[in-house]
Amino acid sequence: MPYIIGAVIPHFGDGAKVDALMTAIKAQSHLPDMQMTVHVVDSNPPNQRNLFTSAVNLGIQHALNANASAIWVINDDCIPARDCISCGIGKLISEPRIGIVASRNLHPSDPDRITWGGSGECWPSGRHIVGLVSEGACAVASRQEWVSFASVFLRRDMVLELGMLDPFLQHICSDADYCLRARASNWEVWYEPTSTVMHPFHSSHGAGTPAWMKYIMHLDQKRFGKKYGFSTPDKKPDPNYRRITPEDFGNRTIPPTAAGSAE
In a domain, 22, yes or no: yes
Phi, psi (5° rounding) for residue 25?
-65, -40
**Is the residue at 100 inside a domain?**
yes
235-240 average pLDDT score: 46
Q: What is the DSSP string of 159-182?
A: HHHH-S--TTS-SSSHHHHHHHHH
Structural domain that includes position 124: 3-230
88 to each of 47, 54, 81, 250, how far by Cα in Å?
A: 30, 24, 11, 30
Alpha-carbon distances, residue 239 vs 90, 128, 129, 134, 231 (angstroms): 38, 19, 20, 35, 10
Contacts of 146 (CB under 8 A, 6+ apart): 119, 122, 126, 175, 176, 179, 180, 189
Report the number of distinct structural domains present in the chain. 1
In a domain, 263, yes or no: no
Asked, for residue 173, whether it belongs to a domain, the answer is: yes
At residue 263 the predicted structure's pLDDT band, cuts being 50, 70 and 90, is: very low
Q: What is the pLDDT of residues 71-122, one digit of tens each?
A: 999 999 999 999 999 999 999 999 999 999 999 999 999 999 999 999 998 8
Mean pLDDT taken over the chain: 85
Residue 250 reports pLDDT greater than 50: no
Are the beta carbons of 114 and 138 closer than 8 angstroms? yes
pLDDT per residue as tens digits for the range 165-189: 999 899 999 999 999 999 999 999 9
Residue 216 lies in a domain: yes
Give the list of residues 6+ apart from residue 154 with CB closer than 8 angstroms, or none: 60, 70, 71, 72, 73, 99, 100
Q: What is the pLDDT of residues 70-84, one digit of tens each?
A: 999 999 999 999 999
206 in any annotated domain:
yes
Q: Contact 153/71 with Cβ under 8 angstroms?
A: yes
Return the beta strands (E) in the chain as ranges.
Answer: 3-11, 34-42, 70-74, 79-80, 98-107, 110-116, 131-132, 142-143, 151-155, 188-198
Q: Residue 189 sits in a domain of what CATH number? A: 3.90.550.60
Give domain status of residue 241, yes or no.
no
Is residue 237 domain-resident? no
